A and B are shown apart, each in its own frame.
Chain A
Amino acid sequence: ETGVTQTPRHLVMGMTNKKSLKCEQHLGHNAMYWYKQSAKKPLELMFVYNFKEQTENNSVPSRFSPECPNSSHLFLHLHTLQPEDSALYLCASSQAVEGPYNEQFFGPGTRLTVL
């Protein structure tokens, strides 16, 4: 257990569905992240939140919509996804966004399949 939980662990959805991924951290951290992990590719940073404020949006398509109501919770709302969006979506948290030795703690991920 890393102190970061994600639900659901697995999700299958059609291209016209709307779904949400949830992440919660119990570590008292101030920064939260969404990553996309595809097979044999580097982790792709999608969004960064620092004290509930979005600080990074790495050119992510608008069909992915993040929400951070407080420093402990992070959501990723999904709509009209494409099959190429199938991947493992990882949530992470860290004490801060900036500063050295900023270890990130990861959740187990949501395995998303888009049909």
Chain B
Amino acid sequence: GQNIDQPTEMTATEGAIVQINCTYQTSGFNGLFWYQQHAGEAPTFLSYNVLDGLEEKGRFSSFLSRSKGYSYLLLKELQMKDSASYLCAVMDSNYQLIWGAGTKLIIKP
């Protein structure tokens, strides 16, 4: 079967760095997405990786290793507004998104 694993919850301190990991087993691979979802709001797109390596976008970076079935989202200089759930999703060979359950990130002052 297809499976996406990510931690349920993480806590970090304002101004610090946090890494949210995602491992996957899917039928084929057409890219990996990270979305941010604040409570009661729509998920919003953060990043897309289809080749191995690191993609940097401001305070957020996303890394992919296809051989290991592994990705992480790195958030730097954490702000209170970064408190949200972070969803990892993999596009399989049928271009269907397979979703993880999300990681709830709690930022403390």
A and B are interacting partners = yes
Tally of contacts, chain A with chain B, CB under 8 A = 52
- For residue B73, give the distance in angstroms from its CB to the closest CB of chain A: 16
Of the four ranges (under 10, 10 to 19, 20 to 34, 35 or more), the interface on chain B belongs to: 20 to 34
Least CB separation from A109: chain B residue: B42
Contact of A100 among B35, B40, B45, B50 (CB under 8 A): B50
Q: Which residues of B contact A (CB under 8 A)?
A: 4, 8, 30-31, 33, 35, 40-45, 48, 50, 87, 89, 91, 95-102
Contact of A45 among B40, B50, B97 (CB under 8 A): B97
A101/B101 in contact, CB under 8 A: no
In the complex, what residues of B have CB within 8 A of residue A101's CB?
A: 31, 48, 50
- For residue B66, give the distance in angstroms from its CB to the closest CB of chain A: 13
Given A42-B4, A42-B100, do A102 and B45 touch, yes or no (CB 8 Å)? no
B44/A106 in contact, CB under 8 A: yes
A56/B31 in contact, CB under 8 A: no
Which residue among B48, B95, B98 has the maximum number of chain A CB atoms within 10 Å of its CB?
B95
